[in-house]
Amino acid sequence: MTQVSAPRPSAPGPGPSAGSDRPRSGPHLVLLALYALFILASGSRAIVQIATKFSEAPIAYLLSAVAACTYVAGWFAIRRAAAGRPAFARVMLWVELGGVIVIGTLSLVVRSWFPDDSVWSDYGKGYGWVPAALPILGLLWVHRSPAAKERS
């Protein structure tokens, strides 16, 4: 008598699933969740600030909007990298890290430009420094994960 075993659910592991652009389970899921959260947080923050009190700190509020756009791009970059196309992520995550460092430094050095905080003020202190950690974690993942290796 032949035994028929039930089909097993696909094992979690790195790398894109066969025949699909949808990446399998991996650390990028957590990165994508964090990016989605920061799209929500910085996007809604920028919208409210620009709509209600733009004249109080225009530079800071515009930079919050820039941060929100960067997180949207970062989310797509991580998703593409997880599907085996890491080129955009390699550029975008460095751009994001540069933004956090430049704006974080400016917010400490030229206080008058930032009467109110932007998302990246003080290197993202208002968000527990997660904005500074995110691109670093993303870059580590892109460079180490087999999921983010270029498809041949």
Residues forming the site for other proteins (CB under 8 A): 9, 11-13, 24-30, 32-34, 36-37, 40, 44, 48, 51-52
Got the DSSP string for 67-83? HHHHHHHHHHHHHHHHT
User: Please, what is the minimum distance in Å from the beta carbon of residue 63 to other proteins?
Assistant: 18
User: Counting beta carbons within 10 angstroms of the beta carbon of residue 117, is it exposed (0 to 12), middle (13 to 18) or buried (19 or more)?
Assistant: buried
- The smaller minimum CB distance to other proteins, of residues 50 and 66, is found at 50
Paired tokens of 122: 């003080």
- The smaller minimum CB distance to other proteins, of residues 8 and 112, is found at 8
- The smaller minimum CB distance to other proteins, of residues 103 and 134, is found at 134
Inter-residue contact 82 to 137 (CB < 8 Å): no
User: Please, what is the minimum distance in Å from the beta carbon of residue 1 to other proteins?
Assistant: 30
User: Please, what is the minimum distance in Å from the beta carbon of residue 22 to other proteins?
Assistant: 9
- The smaller minimum CB distance to other proteins, of residues 8 and 151, is found at 8
| Dihedral pair phi/psi, residue 74, rounded to 5° | -65, -40
